Amino acid sequence: MNELSHFDSAGSPRMVDVSAKPETKRIARAHAFVTMSAGVIARLDDNPKGNPLEIARIAGIAAAKKTSELIPLCHPVMLTHVDVETSLEPGGVRIVTSAATTAQTGVEMEALTAAAVAALTIYDMTKALDKAIEIREVYLLMKSGGCGGDYSRAET
């Protein structure tokens, strides 16, 4: 197993020095699922706060841009692209996010942050209808670029 890069030899947390790494094109995609009843799904278009899916899309994009402010040891990354896609499915809302940059470090955390905040936004905008809404399945779908190589989640 690889060593955890965010700890120094004494076991103290540290920000990884990426200055010697080459800049490469990096892309990551992440996923989240918000479970909700058919009754809540039917009322999404009727929400007095606005369209929850559109608000979640904007919230996810904004969150990706703030990742280094939320996760203490993340590097600030100049994002070249962020996207948040939502789709209604039986049982809830599927969220798939993507983030891209050309940099010395990856964008996995930005894609995951976008997915998590988009899901939280959907919860916030629908919680008055049902407190049993759940956020599930927040995970990395894929990443490419960098010394660590490519990763693609195996279908389960």
What CATH code is carried by the domain that includes residue 84? 3.30.70.640
Would you tell me how many other CB atoms lie within 10 Å of the CB of residue 53?
A: 21
Let me know if 124 is a catalytic residue: yes
Looking at residue 156, its pLDDT comes to 55
Q: Considering the candidates 83, 124, 130, 150, report the single residue annotated as catalytic.
A: 124
Looking at residue 49, its pLDDT comes to 80
Looking at residue 8, its pLDDT comes to 65
Is residue 110 domain-resident? yes
Residues 62, 39: Cα–Cα separation, whole Å: 29
Looking at residue 4, its pLDDT comes to 54
| Ordered mean pLDDT values, 10 residues apiece, the chain (156 residues) | 60 72 92 97 87 96 97 92 97 98 92 98 94 96 88 82
State the total domains in the chain.
1
Residues 60, 111: Cα–Cα separation, whole Å: 9
What's the pTM value of the predicted model, to 2 decimals? 0.90
